[in-house]
Amino acid sequence: MSRIDVDEARRLWLEASDDELRELAQGVRDRFHEPDRATYMVMRIINYTNICVAQCDYCAFYVLPNQEGGYVLSRDAVFAKIDDLLTVGGDLVAFNGGFNPKLPLDFYCDLFAAVRERYGDRVEFYALTIAEFLYLADRAGLSYADAAARLRDAGVHWVTGGGSEILTEDFRKRHAKFKYLVSDYFEAQRAIVESGMRTTATMVIGFDETLDERLEHLQRTRDFQDQCLADGHDGLFSFLCWTYKPYGTAFGGREIPAGEYWRHIALSRIFLDNVRHVRTSVLTLNEDAFRALEYGADDFDLPLEDEVTEKAGARIDLDLQRLLEVPRGLGYRVEYRRAERPAALTA
């Protein structure tokens, strides 16, 4: 199948049956991966601080500065969480927290350098999301290129595309007006790529976004990746989509059905024909996430912890062996995938 445009994607979403979408998505998946193989990682998200000034209305995690209940994890607490992850066989950490005005970029560079020094390549870590990176670079008065170089020199290999939710300016105005402009998001992500670090694409569905907003998000993501590849960069390693958890948030709402998520994964797999991995979200969908492997996904995380989504209603299942039986039961050979050091940073 050749590349589809937004009009064709809209038509597929509105008119194609589940079987048709699944078949088309499998066709694109097969270009990159063996049909019956799925890969996974065991990871934990470490939420180093819950203090945040961004005030996104879909977030149940943050407290404002000077409100009760705010915290910043000590370095020992971070190390203890990583040690715990290693004990159960995991090797990926994702650092994610609020926009805490008391923590400058130097704080993070020191933390990440300490993690790299203590664990070397035994643990890979996603240092920040693009959203946090934007906040820290702006507060430090640094260009995105200079801020990216500071992180890379501190031992960081990955800054993920998290904090994107839905990448349209309208969505940001409705729900996260203090966060960033979409144009800034991609400019920062480009600086990450050019620094030699790697990045990923993410998306969250199930707020009040329209179909056109979902399609705009996919189009901007594909355009970004096209440009990276044309300029000789690897660009986006993967695309991960998860579902909004509405409990305890100011915005509220309801969870979308798993079937809608599976269809969206299929549409994303078909549309993002230039991104190698499409990842499904066990964090927010539990066992239901694995059916997305039949709709074009090829990879997933088994998370131990994420306070951000848990505060909004996510329920994390720590019986990893039982979870792995679900994709096996669907006919997949599941294999552990170690996080890769980016080629540009290979010693």
Distance, in Å, from the CA atom of 59 to the CA atom of 245, rounded to the nearest integer, reads 9
> What backbone phi and psi angles, to 5 degrees, belong to 125?
-140, 140
User: In this structure, is the dihedral angle defined by the CA atoms of residues 61, 64, 68 and 71, taken in order, positive or negative?
Assistant: positive
Is residue 227 near ligand SF4 by the rule CB under 6 A? no
Q: How far is the CB of 176 from ligand SF4 (least distance, A)?
A: 6
CA-nearest of 12, 100, 123, 8 to 48 is 100
User: In this structure, is the dihedral angle defined by the CA atoms of residues 305, 306, 311 and 312, taken in order, positive or negative?
Assistant: negative
Piece of the chain touching ligand SF4 by CB under 6 A; list 53-61, 108-116, 145-153, 166-174:
53-61
Distance, in Å, from the CA atom of 110 to the CA atom of 26, rounded to the nearest integer, reads 43
Q: How far is the CB of 163 from ligand SF4 (least distance, A)?
A: 6
Is residue 55 near ligand SF4 by the rule CB under 6 A? yes
Among positions 28, 29, 45, 61, the unique one binding ligand SF4 when judged by CB under 6 A: 61
Distance, in Å, from the CA atom of 176 to the CA atom of 31, rounded to the nearest integer, reads 37
Q: List binders of ligand SF4 among 112-151 (CB under 6 A).
A: 131
User: Which run of H or E residues covers position 159?
Assistant: strand 158-160
Closest CB to ligand SF4 among residues 44, 263: 44
Closest CB to ligand SF4 among residues 104, 331: 104
Among positions 99, 108, 126, 171, the unique one binding ligand SF4 when judged by CB under 6 A: 99
Closest CB to ligand SF4 among residues 108, 295: 108
Closest CB to ligand SF4 among residues 100, 280: 100
CA angle 323, 329, 335 (to 5 degrees): 65
- Residues touching ligand SF4, count (CB under 6 A): 11
Closest CB to ligand SF4 among residues 100, 199: 100
Piece of the chain touching ligand SF4 by CB under 6 A; list 58-66, 139-147, 181-189, 284-292:
58-66
Is residue 327 near ligand SF4 by the rule CB under 6 A? no
What's the Cα-to-Cα distance from 12 to each of 19, 95, 168, 182, 207, rounded to whole Å?
A: 12, 36, 21, 26, 21
In the structure encoding, which two tokens stand for residue 338, read together? 């170690």
Helix (H, G, I), strand (E, B) or coil at 309: helix
Among positions 25, 45, 52, 111, the unique one binding ligand SF4 when judged by CB under 6 A: 52
| CB-CB neighbours of 267 under 10 Å | 25
Among positions 38, 41, 43, 56, the unique one binding ligand SF4 when judged by CB under 6 A: 56
The contact set with ligand SF4 (CB under 6 A) reads: 52, 54-56, 59, 61-62, 98-99, 131, 179
